[in-house]
Amino acid sequence: MKAVLVWATLLFLLFVVVMAVVFRSEAARDILRFARRMLWAYVALVVVLAAIHLWREGF
């Protein structure tokens, strides 16, 4: 089930990239900007959780 969700997400992002690059869709560009912001938020969350874990458990 997890593999199906990963493949669906990858295909969606590929479709959006094609729409943004080939057809110059502004809506597709907005979706890509939003996805980029969400990826940075995910990275920041992982770093914060790692810092909390290190603080609680020690080095």
Sign, CA torsion 9/11/15/17? positive
Helix (H/G/I), strand (E/B), else coil: 24:
coil
Residue 58, pLDDT score: 85
pLDDT digits (tens, 9 = 90+) for 14-31: 999 999 999 999 999 999
- The confidence band for 35, taking pLDDT boundaries of 50, 70 and 90, is very high
Full-model pTM: 0.76
Provide the percentage of residues in the chain whose pLDDT is more than 70.
Answer: 100
Question: Which DSSP state fits 23?
Answer: S
What is the rounded (10 degree) CA torsion for 25, 16, 23, 33? Answer: 40
> With 80 as the cut, is the pLDDT of residue 51 above it?
yes
- The confidence band for 59, taking pLDDT boundaries of 50, 70 and 90, is confident
